[in-house]
Amino acid sequence: MAFLKGVWRFLVAIKDGLALLFLLVFFGFLYALLSAGPNPGAVRDGALLIELDGFVSEQPAAIDPVAALLSQRAPIREYRQRDISRALDLAVKDDRIKAVVLDLDRFMGGGQSSLSALGERIGAVRKAGKAVYAFATAYSDDGYQLAAHASEIWVDPLGGVLPTGPGGSRTYYKGLFDQLGIKAHIYRVGTFKSAVEPYMRADQSPEAEQAMKALYDEVWEQWRSEVAKARPKAKLDALLADAPAMIEAARGDLAQLALSNGLVDRLGDRVAFGKHVAAKVGEGRDEKIGSFAETRPAILLAAHAPSRDGSPIGVITVAGEIIDGEGGPGVAAGDSVSELIYGALKNEELKALVLRVDSPGGSVTASEKIRLAIAEAKKRKIPVVVSMANLAASGGYWISMPADAIFAEPSTITGSIGIFGVLPSGKEALAKWGITTDGVRTTPLSGEPDVLGGISPEFDRLAQATVEKGYRDFLTRVAASRKKTVEQVDAIGQGRVWAGGTARQLGLVDRLGGLDDALVEAARLARLEKDEWHPLFIEPQPDFASTLLGGLMPEPAQAQFPTDLFGRAALEQQLAFDRIAADLRMLSGVKGAQVRCLECGVVAGVPPTASTSSPWNNLFDLLRSS
């Protein structure tokens, strides 16, 4: 009996210990979360330090706690473009901010439209008489697009500047499928429906080459024009014309080459750069060599609450892949986004609605839910304006159609009006291992699509007819919304993607401009004067676990963010493998019909993401539309 009592006391002690440990961890996490918030009173006289260790995006994705804990790599940080823009606007007005410092050493990029918007804000800071200093070990296209707007560009002597322009090779899997005995059944409509070509060809078609080259040329010309305007003395054309020859002539010294050609102003490491900035804005409080007086954007934003005067104009962001069901920030879940819209319509003070779209599309049913929610707003006589960011293609265009006005940036990627389906079957692959299939059918469609025994011609006909019907639906909706004939939309559809400037000429969008322009137009449609409204940003809230983990997430390890040119090349290699994995995952099935532009993400500077695979249970589950 004494032994049993001892065991019981031991078990109770373990239980009490675990409960106490849980409470300590919980309150420790809660304290860390609460203390992680910015302190508005911490704004210092000095520089606004914008340190971009990751991507710039329209809506940072919520951190998946499970994936973050299981992954061997720390989550890559995302910085909301709107927050950085407002911080730069505040830097113009706040007398405590003497200069702006852009730390781009571990900047991984962003959409060209987002970077152009930030570039305009940086230019405004300089016009206000405040210096802007940029530093990086190496500048690629995206980093240099931002740095070009700075007063002084610094580069580490071990680094340099090497813009390469958009484009590159794409992976094709037809040869691999033939060797493995896998057949990709393709159902598509459109001459330029190149998204499925990797599964049916060993190279790109002439039509795909024509379309993508036109798109790349237009986007690249906009990049070059922006950089040339921001930094007119830079001899960029010569470097772009024959970079290998110039680098060889400079004996491989990219930093000195950049300096001699006016691409940068000074060579120096991080310590030298910090001392230079400290001489301008004041010394830092810590003892770290090269520190300077600085304020972070979050602190500056906290010190300047946005105006709430006048009537609200709602702004709802649709960012990321459009999926069915619910989801947090960074993914455009149909149920969540439509609920945000319907919830906003319950606000009787709401005078207009702006939809900020940055999406390659996705689920047809989710896209239609969002479109119907927007249509409901119009039924209630609430003006709706769409502001396209970097990417609003396929499903992203689907949800934009009902708007009273559509704004796009010159480098926005849009269009991709089309639909396709792809479904693999492995009959020959199984036969190589001696596996065969047999069975009894009551109709020609029994057991179809038979991905193991081979998809029948009857099902192929059915699937193709369904895809063609989906394309007609897309054309009809666009024609009705844009006041065109179906034939006119078909001529500019066919799955082809367009840059914003050309899309404006074709009538797919109404005007060129950013979010601020869309807000002004929404106010005009609502008959509100300049001082009679304010933007009200309505966004899905991350769950508690994601918020907690985000607040506790340590700074990313430097190994995750290469700074020199070779390190960046290695990172690009990793991203290329991620894209291959995403291509192959797509074949395993995405639930629900899709209106998605698979090739747009690379053009728009969107990092590759993995789609969630799930088994399909009806015809629409096999369709991948783009």
How many beta carbons lie within 10 A of that of residue 21, not counting itself? 10
- DSSP-H helix ranges across 386-447: 395-398, 427-431
- Kindly report the CA angle at 483 between 417 and 488, in degrees rounded to 5? 50
Q: What letter does residue 606 receive in the DSSP assignment? A: P
Q: Which of 193, 351, 484, 591 is catalytic?
A: 193
Closest alpha carbon to 50 in 86, 96, 6: 86
Cα separation values, 265 from 98, 154, 496, 600, Å: 20, 6, 41, 35
Query: Would you state the structure tokens that stand for residue 452, as one six-digit string?
Result: 């193991």
Cα 368 vs. chain centroid, distance in angstroms? 21
Q: How far apart (Å, rounded) are the C-alpha atoms in residues 116 and 532?
A: 28
Q: How far apart (Å, rounded) are the C-alpha atoms in residues 479 and 485?
A: 5
Phi-psi region of 203 (alpha: psi -120 to 50; beta: other; left: phi over 0): beta
DSSP-derived pairing of the beta strands 266-267 and 152-161: parallel
- Kindly report the CA angle at 532 between 528 and 538, in degrees rounded to 5? 90
**Annotation says 193 is catalytic:** yes
DSSP-derived pairing of the beta strands 405-408 and 384-393: parallel
Could you tell me if 141 and 223 are in contact, meaning their C-beta atoms sit under 8 angstroms apart?
yes
Name the β-bridge partners of 102: 50, 134
Could you tell me if 626 and 397 are in contact, meaning their C-beta atoms sit under 8 angstroms apart?
no
**Following CA atoms 257, 260, 262, 266 in sequence, which dihedral angle do they give, to the nearest 10 degrees?**
90
Phi-psi region of 495 (alpha: psi -120 to 50; beta: other; left: phi over 0): left
Query: Would you state the structure tokens that stand for residue 284, as one six-digit string?
Result: 């830092």
The 10 Å CB-count burial string (b at 16+, else e) for 157-186 is eebbbbbeebeeebebbbeebeeeebbbbb
Could you tell me if 282 and 293 are in contact, meaning their C-beta atoms sit under 8 angstroms apart?
yes
**Annotation says 140 is catalytic:** no
Q: What letter does residue 610 receive in the DSSP assignment? A: P
Closest alpha carbon to 354 in 57, 626, 78, 82: 82
Backbone angles phi, psi at 131, to 5 degrees: -75, 150
For the chain, what is the radius of gyration of the CA atoms? Answer: 27
Q: How far apart (Å, rounded) are the C-alpha atoms in residues 253 and 451?
A: 56
Closest alpha carbon to 168 in 581, 596, 610, 569: 569
Q: Which of 113, 140, 363, 394 is catalytic?
A: 394
Q: 449 preceded by cis ω (within 30°)?
A: yes
Q: How far apart (Å, rounded) are the C-alpha atoms in residues 343 and 366?
A: 17
Could you tell me if 196 and 186 are in contact, meaning their C-beta atoms sit under 8 angstroms apart?
yes
Could you tell me if 583 and 200 are in contact, meaning their C-beta atoms sit under 8 angstroms apart?
no
- The residues annotated with a catalytic role in the active site are 193, 394
